[in-house]
A and B are shown apart, each in its own frame.
Chain A
Amino acid sequence: MKVKVINRSEEACTRTRSQDVLKVHRNLDPALHPFEKAKEYTRALNAAKLDRLFARPFLAAFPHTDGITCLARSPARLNCLLSGTADGEVRLWDVAARRCLRRLVGHAGAVTGVAVAPSGDVAVSAGADGTARLWRVPFAPFAGGPVERDASPVLQWTARGGLRGVDHHWARSQFATAGVGVCVWDHARSDPVHAFEWGADTVASVRFNPAEPDLLASVGGDRSVALYDLRSATPLRKLVMQTKSNALAWNPMEAFHFTLASDDCNLYTYDMRRLDVARCVHQDFVSAVMDVDYSPTGREFVAGGYDRSLRIFAKHGGHSREVYTTKRQQRVFAVRFSGDGTYVFSGSDDMNVRVWKAQASQQLGVTLPRERQKAAYGAALIERHKHLPEVRRVVGNRRTPTAIYKATKTRRAVMDAERRKLKNRIAHSKPGSVVVKPARRRKIVEELE
C-alpha cells in the first residue's frame, strides 16, 4: 500500500526575514468560493467607502503677499514650481521641501504669465507692464532649511502693450506672449520673431502644443480661439464662440485635442481638425472657468473656477470626477498639474498656492506590492460596480460649500426650465420647425478662415 504524503519544501514555507509574507497556497476551485458576486459587490462598496474615508487631498499651502495670477511647472524637474502674483513678484518653490527658493523681483505691474524653458534652467514671465523677463531657475539645494533670496531678471523684452500671458516653446528657446496680438520671441533677439494679429481684440492667453511644438493657440477678448503655426508663420483658423474663453490647454498625448476654459461655466474639448463641433462639453462649474491644465498623462485635466473650486475631469468626462475646495480658498486663477501627474497646484486670490493630490485617497510614498495590489483591486472593483446605485452614490458623494451647492441647485433649476420650455415649444410647433442644436454645437458662432 502506498500512502502519499504531502511534501513541502523548507524553502517555500519558511521566511528569511520576519517581515516576509508566507506564500499562501490557494485552491481556485470555484466550488470552494461560492457567492463571488455578492462578495465582490460588498467589497466594492467597502472599497468605495474607504476611498471616501481616506480622501484627504490637501497637502500644503505656499503663502504670497498678493493674489496669485499665474503658475508654471518645470518640464524638466518635479519639485520646481513658479507662481506669479498681482504685485509683480514671482516666487520659485521647492515643492517637496515646501519652501521658497527665490523671489524673482522686477515687474512693475501684475505678473500675468510665467513659463519655464524645456531645459528647466530659465523661466520667462510676462507682466501687465508690457515687459517679458527672463530669470534663472536654480536647482533646489539638497541641504534643508529656508533659502529664500531675491533674484533679478537676466534679460528683458518690451512689448507693444501690456502682456496678458506667456508660454514657452517645448523644444526651442522661444516663447510666445499674449497681449496685443500674439508675439513669438527668441531668447537671443530683442524683437519678436513672429507677430500674429488677427482682429483688434486683446489676446488673453496663449499656449504651445506640447506634442507638436510649432502649433500654438490663443484665446482672446473677441470670444475667439485662434490657431497659429510657426512653420508657415501664419495664423490658421479662428473659432468664435458665444462666450469668451479664459484659457486653453493642449492634450500632451493627443496632439490635435485642446480644451477651452469658458466663461459660461463649461469647458469645451475640441479637435483642431474639426472646429465645427466640440468633442466634449465638461460641466459642473457654477461660475466662469479661469484656467485649465492637462495632466502629463493626457488622461485628465484640472480646471480652476471663479466659484472658488478646482475640479479634475477625465479627458472624456462630461462631469468632474473630483472637486477640491477649502474654507479659505478664494477665486482660483491658475491651476497646474505636476510633472508626474500625481499632484495638482492651484493659485487663488487668497494669496496662496495650494498643493493637492490628484487622486484624493491615494497613498503617497513607498508602497509594498501587496498594498499596490490591494489598491488596484479596490479600484478595479469600484470601476466594475460603479453603475450600481449604492456604489455610485458613495463614489460620487462630494460635500461642496454652501455657495456652490446653492448655485448648483439654481443652475439645475434654470437648465431644467429651459429644457422644459424647449420641450413645450417642440410639442406645440409644427414638426421640424424648431431646430435643436446639440450642446456640442450650441455655443459655436462661426469658424473663420
Chain B
Amino acid sequence: MAKAGNWRGPRAPPKSNREREVENDVFEAEDSEPEEERLKNKYDRVDNYEYEMPSDFEDEEIDEDTAFTAEDNALYGHMFEGGPSGEEGEEGETTDDGSDADGSDADINLDSDEEDAQSGHELDDVFDASSSEEEGKESDDDVEAGTARGSGSGSGQEDEEDDTAHAALLAAVTEGAPGKKGRKERRAVVTEAYPEAEHNMPNAGDLSVSDLLQGLGNAQTKLGKARKTLLRMEAKESAVAPPLPGLIRQRLERKAGYEAASKDVSKWRPLVKANAAAPTIHFTSDKAAVHTTTTVAGLVDKHAPVTGMEAEVAAMLARAGAHSDRALAESEQALAARELTIEELRERQNRLAKTRALLYYHEAKAKRLKKIKSKEYRRQMKRADRRKADKLGAEEGGDAAEALVAAEEAEFARAKERLTLKHRNTSRWARRALKRGANLTDDATRAALAEQLQLGQELRRKVERPDRGGADGSDVSTSASDEEEDSEEEGGEGRPARRSKLHRTALDILEGGGDEAGAEAGGLLALPFMKRAREKQRAAALQAAERVLAEEEGRKAEGRARTSGRLQFSGDGGAAAASVRPVAAIAAGEDSDLESDEDEDVEAKAARLARHLSAERREEGVAQAAAETADVREPATVQGRAGGGGGDPPAAGSAQPRQHSSAGFVAVAAGAGRASTRPAVERDDLFAPSTSAAAKTFLPSGSFAGARKGYTFKKGPQGVGYYIDAAGEVPAPKAKGQVQQKRQQGQQTGPTKKARSGDAGRAAQEAELGDDSLKPAESAAAYTQDDLIRMAFANDDVAAEFAAEKASEVEAELPKVEGVGTLPGWGNWAGAQREPAWMAAARRKAEQQRAAAAAARKDAKMQYVILSERWDKAAAKYRTATLPFPYDSKETYERARRQPLGKEYNTDASFRDLTRPAVVKDAGVVIEPLRYTPDAAAAAAAAPKRAAKMPVNNVVGGRMSQGRLAK
C-alpha cells in the first residue's frame, strides 16, 4: 500500500500544502513546460513599463494558523472541493472511534508518509471514496487506495469506479459486524499472492467465513452441522505466507549463498597459510598408491608368456607337467609312489660313487695348489718365524744362548754395513753418482743407489727396534730423519748422540755461526727499541746456550766414570732434558707447553733454538748495518716492543727465565769449562768505565761539522747544535754498540769471538739488572715513559699532520660554492675600492653553507678519524638504491644476507637447506589440485610458526603433509 504513496495521478489537482512534494515528483517534473514559459526568453529583454509595487511596500503578515481557523473551516470549508472539514463531520458520525480532535490530526498528517497510517484511516478512506463518488470526483486518498490494490499500469476510470463500488459493497456487507476490529488487523499484513496484472481483482479486503455467517443472521442455526465445520475452518485459517517477488527472493538467495560459500571456503585458510609459510613445497607422487608386486610368487603368478621363446618354454613346461605348483606337486607324488628296480638302484649308486670320486680328486688338487707359495712368501714367513722365536727367547729367558747368537749376528751385520758404509751413499762412487744427480740416466746406477738407501733404512730400522721396545712401548712410529744421526755415532749411544746436536747448536750460537747473514734492512727493524729488544733476547739465548754447554761438560765428566751404554744415560737424560727446558723456552718464546711434554725431542729443541737465533742474528745484522750508516741513536721504547708479541719474545716477558739463567751463569762461571772463561773476559770489557758517560748533552754549533759519535746535529730546545743521542745516555748499550762497531769495522767477514762473547756478557749483565753490584750508575730507568716517547717522536708532529690531512680531505669533499659574489673580480667594477655589501653577503652565505656542510659530516666530531663522504661510483653496484621490499630496516636486510650460501662456507646439510628451491617437483608427476581434509587443515593450523629446521610441505596427490626433504 505504501509503495504507491508517492504516486500522484495527473488528474488530481495539486493542493496548496502539497506543492513541495509535487515539485520533487519525477513524473511531474518530466512534464513539458508550457509554451509561454519556454518562449519567454525568446525576445530581447525590453524595459517594463507596467506598474510595479514600490520597493518599500510591505505586505501584511498573516499567521498560517490564524489564517483559516476551525471556525472559518466550518463556515467556508464546503467551498473547497473535497474539503476535509465537511467530510470529517460525516466521518465523525459514521465511525465511533473518530473524535473531532482525531479528525483534525488526520487532516494534518495527510501529506506525511502513509505507511504509519492507522487501520482506522484506511477504513475512512473507503468511506471517503463512497461519499466523494456522489460528487463525481476523486480525492487523493481514493487514488491511493485504488492504486495500492490495482496495477500501476494506467487503470481506467471504470476500473477505479469498480474498485470503489466493490469497496462500498463490502462495507455494506460487513456493516455493523462485531468482529470488525480483528479483520482490520489482518488486512494490514495481506500482500499480493498473485502476479500483478490488470485483470486481477484488487484485494480490497478479505471475505471471511464469519462475515458470511454473520450475513445469515438468525438463519445460521439452519445450517446445522455445516455451521460447525465452517467455524472450525475459520479457526484453522492460517494462510501460508505468500512468497516474495522473484527478484527480491533471488537476491536474498544469492546473498545467503555467497555468505555460506565464503564461510565454507575460508576453511582453506590454514592450508594456504601453511603453504605460503613453508620455505619449500615438494610435489611428489603417491608411491604407495601405485600397486607393485614385490614377491617372487606374485611375479610368477602374474607372468604370462609374451615372446616366442617364453611361449616355447611355457609349452615345454606344460608338456612336462611343471607349468604350475599343483602339477609339480602331483608329479612329485607320482614319483614317490614309484618303486625302484635293481638296475635303477645300481645305476644310481654308480652315479653317486662317481660324483664322490670326482669331488675327492678336486679337493686333493686344491690342497696341493694351496701349498704352492712364492719365494717372497717363504722369505717373509721365515723372517716372521725368526722374529717370533727372538721374542719368545727374550720373554722366557730360556734359550739365552740362541738369543745371544742372534744378537751377535745382527751386530755383525750392522758392523759390516758400517764398515762398508754401503747404506749411506757416502762412498766416493756414490758421491760422484749423486753429484751427477739429475742426469742420472743409468738404470743400474740408480738401482744401486736406491739399494744402498734401502739398506740404510733397513739398518736403521734394526737399530730402532730394541729401542722402541725398551724405552717407550707406546711409540708406534718414529720419523726416520730423527734417527739419521744415530748411525753415525756409536750404536750404543743414541741419546748422547742426539744430545751432541744440542751441544753443537749451543756452540754454534755462542760462535755466532749465522751472524754473517746480515742483509740490508731499514724501517721498523732499524728502530733503536727494536734493536734493544732483539739484543736482550739474543743475550738470553746465549746465556741459555752457555748453560747447556756447562751442563754438558759436567755430565761428560760424570759420564766418564761410568761404563758406556745407552741405558745408563736414560735416567740422566730426563734430567738433562729438564735442565735444557728453560733454554728452549727462551728460544721459542711460546713453548709453555713443553713442561707437559717430557719426551720432547732434545734434538728438535736444539733445532728450534738454532732456527730462532739465526733469525735473530739476521735481524741484528741488519739493524747494525742500518745503525752504522745512519748513525742514529734513539732511546729505546721497550714498552712499544713488548706489545708486539708474535715470534720474537718480548724482553719483559722472560723475566723468570732470566733469573734462572743468571743462576746458571754463576754456576758456569764457577765450574771450569770451555765457555766459562769467556764471560769473565767479557765482563771486564763491558764494565770498563764508559767515557761517554761524562759527555756533554749539547754541543752548540752553528753549522754541521761532520758526524760525531753519539750525537745528532739538529735544531733543539737549546738552539742548533749537536745533541747527545738519546741512546748514548744509556751507558751499557752504548758501550756495547761501540764494541760492536769496532768489531764490524775490524772484521767484515764475520763477528769475532770476542764480540760475541761480549754480547753474551752484556746479556748476562742485563739479566742481572736486579743485582746492585752489577747495576750501572746510569740506566734507562731514569727516564719516564713519557720522556722516552717524547724523545722518540721529537721531530714529528703526527697529530698536526693528521689534522692538516683531514682538513684538506674535508675541503676537497665540501660542496663547491661558486657565484658572482664568490669569484674574485666578477660582478664588481674594475678598480672599485670597496666591495659591495651584496657581494660580502654572498660570500658570507657561501661560507656558512660550507661550514654547515662541514658540520654535517659524520666525522665532524671525531678528531682522529676521517670518514670520506665521496660518492664511490665503483661501490655503487654493491649496494641497493632503496631498501628492498620485504625488509623493514637496513639491519634486517644486512642480517638476511650475512650467512654465505656456498659449499665452502657451510656444511653439506646446511648448504642444501640454504639453497633449496621454493618448489621442488618430481619429474613426470601430475600435480593435482589441493584437496581439503579436516585433518590436514588441523595439522596445518597446529604447525608451529617456526619449525625447527627448514620444513617442507609435501604434496602427494593433492594431499598436503609437513615433513622434511632428504634431497
Tell me the A residues contacting B by CB distance below 8 Å.
1-3, 5, 26, 28, 30, 33, 36-37, 39-41, 43, 75-78, 170, 210-212, 215, 227, 229, 232, 234-237, 252-256, 272-273, 296-299, 339-342, 366, 369, 372-373, 376-377, 379-381, 384, 387-390, 449
B713 on interface, CB distance cutoff 8 Å: no
Q: How far is A298 from B953 in the complex, measured between Cα atoms in Å?
A: 13
Give the total of B residues in contact with A, Cβ under 8 Å.
66
If A2-B474, A28-B906, A387-B880 touch, does A296 touch B927 (CB 8 Å cutoff)? yes
Q: Are B921 and A297 in contact (CB under 8 A)?
A: yes
If A384-B897, A388-B877, A389-B876 touch, does A234 touch B265 (CB 8 Å cutoff)? no
Q: Are B253 and A234 in contact (CB under 8 A)?
A: yes
Q: Are A388 and B880 in contact (CB under 8 A)?
A: yes
Q: Are A256 and B266 in contact (CB under 8 A)?
A: yes
Using A40-B901, A377-B901 as known contacts, list a sample of 11 further A-B pairs with CB atoms less than 8 Å apart, ordered by residue number in A: A36-B905, A211-B929, A211-B930, A234-B254, A255-B930, A256-B262, A373-B915, A376-B916, A388-B879, A390-B877, A449-B251
Which of B478, B878, B915 contacts A380, CB < 8 Å?
Answer: B915
Contact with A along B247-272 (1 / 0, CB 8 A): 00011011111101110111010001
Smallest CB gap from A4: residue in B = B477
Q: Closest CB of chain B to A424's CB: distance in Å? A: 25
Greatest chain B CB density within 10 A among A1, A2, A37, A234 is at: A1
Q: Are A296 and B268 in contact (CB under 8 A)?
A: no
Smallest CB gap from B477: residue in A = A3
Q: How far is A236 from B260 in the complex, measured between Cα atoms in Å?
A: 9
Q: Closest CB of chain B to A235's CB: distance in Å? A: 6
Give 24 A-B contacts (CB < 8 Å), ordered by A residue. A33-B904, A36-B900, A36-B905, A43-B902, A75-B928, A76-B926, A78-B924, A170-B929, A232-B256, A237-B254, A252-B927, A253-B930, A255-B930, A255-B932, A339-B927, A340-B924, A341-B921, A369-B967, A377-B901, A377-B902, A379-B915, A388-B878, A389-B881, A449-B258
Which of A5, A256, A380, A384 contacts B268, CB < 8 Å?
Answer: A256
CB neighbours of A77 from chain B (8 A): 926
CB neighbours of B931 from chain A (8 A): 211
Q: How far is A141 from B916 in the complex, measured between Cα atoms in Å?
A: 37
B601 on interface, CB distance cutoff 8 Å: yes
Q: How far is A255 from B901 in the complex, measured between Cα atoms in Å?
A: 35
Q: How far is A389 from B901 in the complex, measured between Cα atoms in Å?
A: 20
Q: Are B929 and A379 in contact (CB under 8 A)?
A: no
* B residues 463-509 touching A (CB-CB < 8 Å): 472, 474-479, 482
Q: Closest CB of chain A to B600's CB: distance in Å? A: 8
Q: Are B265 and A212 in contact (CB under 8 A)?
A: yes
B822 on interface, CB distance cutoff 8 Å: no
Q: How far is A420 from B601 in the complex, measured between Cα atoms in Å?
A: 85
Q: Closest CB of chain B to A360's CB: distance in Å? A: 15
Q: Closest CB of chain B to A84's CB: distance in Å? A: 22
What are the 6 tightest A-B residue pairs by CB atom distance, in nearest-first order? A210-B929, A296-B927, A252-B929, A380-B915, A236-B258, A339-B926
Q: Are A341 and B927 in contact (CB under 8 A)?
A: yes
Q: How far is A369 from B908 in the complex, measured between Cα atoms in Å?
A: 13
Q: Are A2 and B476 in contact (CB under 8 A)?
A: yes
Which of A26, A33, A235, A296 contacts B928, CB < 8 Å?
Answer: A296
Q: Closest CB of chain A to B298's CB: distance in Å? A: 24
CB neighbours of B257 from chain A (8 A): 229, 232, 234-236
B714 on interface, CB distance cutoff 8 Å: no
Q: Are B905 and A340 in contact (CB under 8 A)?
A: no
Q: Are A252 and B930 in contact (CB under 8 A)?
A: yes
Q: Are B929 and A40 in contact (CB under 8 A)?
A: no
Smallest CB gap from B902: residue in A = A40
Tell me the B residues contacting A by CB distance below 8 Å.
250-251, 253-258, 260-262, 264-266, 268, 272, 275, 281, 283, 472, 474-479, 482, 599-601, 876-881, 884, 897, 900-907, 911-912, 914-919, 921, 923-932, 967
Q: How far is A100 from B902 in the complex, measured between Cα atoms in Å?
A: 46
Q: How far is A26 from B902 in the complex, measured between Cα atoms in Å?
A: 12
Smallest CB gap from B597: residue in A = A1
Q: How far is A210 from B905 in the complex, measured between Cα atoms in Å?
A: 44
Q: How far is A289 from B599 in the complex, measured between Cα atoms in Å?
A: 85
CB neighbours of B879 from chain A (8 A): 388
Which of B260, B272, B912, B923 contacts A254, CB < 8 Å?
Answer: B272
If A28-B905, A340-B924, A388-B879 touch, does A1 touch B254 (CB 8 Å cutoff)? no
Q: How far is A235 from B256 in the complex, measured between Cα atoms in Å?
A: 10
Which of A272, A296, A376 contacts B262, CB < 8 Å?
Answer: A272
Q: Closest CB of chain B to A284's CB: distance in Å? A: 18
Q: How far is A376 from B264 in the complex, measured between Cα atoms in Å?
A: 39
Q: Closest CB of chain B to A11's CB: distance in Å? A: 18
CB neighbours of B926 from chain A (8 A): 75-78, 296, 339-340
CB neighbours of A340 from chain B (8 A): 283, 921, 923-927
If A2-B474, A273-B262 touch, does A235 touch B900 (CB 8 Å cutoff)? no
CB neighbours of A298 from chain B (8 A): 275, 930
Q: How far is A449 from B261 in the complex, measured between Cα atoms in Å?
A: 13
Q: Are B916 and A227 in contact (CB under 8 A)?
A: no
If A236-B254, A252-B930 touch, does A389 touch B880 (CB 8 Å cutoff)? yes
Q: Closest CB of chain B to A293's CB: distance in Å? A: 13
Smallest CB gap from A235: residue in B = B254
Q: Closest CB of chain B to A436's CB: distance in Å? A: 21
Greatest chain A CB density within 10 A among B258, B879, B928 is at: B258
If A2-B474, A255-B932, A297-B283 touch, does A215 touch B261 (CB 8 Å cutoff)? yes
Greatest chain A CB density within 10 A among B251, B901, B917 is at: B901
Smallest CB gap from B880: residue in A = A387
Q: Are B476 and A387 in contact (CB under 8 A)?
A: no
Smallest CB gap from A32: residue in B = B904
CB neighbours of A235 from chain B (8 A): 254, 257
Q: Are B905 and A253 in contact (CB under 8 A)?
A: no
Smallest CB gap from B276: residue in A = A254
CB neighbours of B912 from chain A (8 A): 373, 376
CB neighbours of B881 from chain A (8 A): 389
Which of A26, A297, A380, A449 contacts B254, CB < 8 Å?
Answer: A449
Q: How far is A126 from B764 in the complex, measured between Cα atoms in Å?
A: 110
CB neighbours of A390 from chain B (8 A): 877
Which of B255, B479, B897, B929 contacts A3, CB < 8 Å?
Answer: B479
Q: Closest CB of chain B to A318's CB: distance in Å? A: 10
CB neighbours of B599 from chain A (8 A): 1
CB neighbours of B474 from chain A (8 A): 2
CB neighbours of A299 from chain B (8 A): 281, 918-919
Q: How far is A78 from B925 in the complex, measured between Cα atoms in Å?
A: 8
Q: Closest CB of chain A to B249's CB: distance in Å? A: 11
Q: Are A272 and B915 in contact (CB under 8 A)?
A: no
Q: Closest CB of chain B to A320's CB: distance in Å? A: 17
Q: How far is A396 from B619 in the complex, measured between Cα atoms in Å?
A: 60
Q: Are B253 and A28 in contact (CB under 8 A)?
A: no
Q: Are A297 and B601 in contact (CB under 8 A)?
A: no
Q: Closest CB of chain B to A148's CB: distance in Å? A: 25
If A376-B915, A389-B877 touch, does A39 touch B258 (CB 8 Å cutoff)? no
Smallest CB gap from B925: residue in A = A340
Q: Are A227 and B915 in contact (CB under 8 A)?
A: no
Q: How far is A399 from B665 in the complex, measured between Cα atoms in Å?
A: 87
Q: Closest CB of chain A to B266's CB: distance in Å? A: 7
CB neighbours of B927 from chain A (8 A): 252, 296-297, 339-341
Q: How far is A273 from B929 in the complex, measured between Cα atoms in Å?
A: 20
Q: Are B932 and A211 in contact (CB under 8 A)?
A: yes
If A33-B904, A254-B268 touch, does A227 touch B930 (CB 8 Å cutoff)? no
Q: How far is A50 from B511 in the complex, measured between Cα atoms in Å?
A: 66
Smallest CB gap from B884: residue in A = A387
Which of B268, B281, B479 contacts A297, CB < 8 Å?
Answer: B281
Q: How far is A33 from B900 in the complex, measured between Cα atoms in Å?
A: 11
Q: How far is A9 from B795 in the complex, measured between Cα atoms in Å?
A: 65
CB neighbours of A377 from chain B (8 A): 901-903, 911, 915
Q: Are B921 and A1 in contact (CB under 8 A)?
A: no
Q: How far is A252 from B928 in the complex, measured between Cα atoms in Å?
A: 8
CB neighbours of A229 from chain B (8 A): 257, 260-261
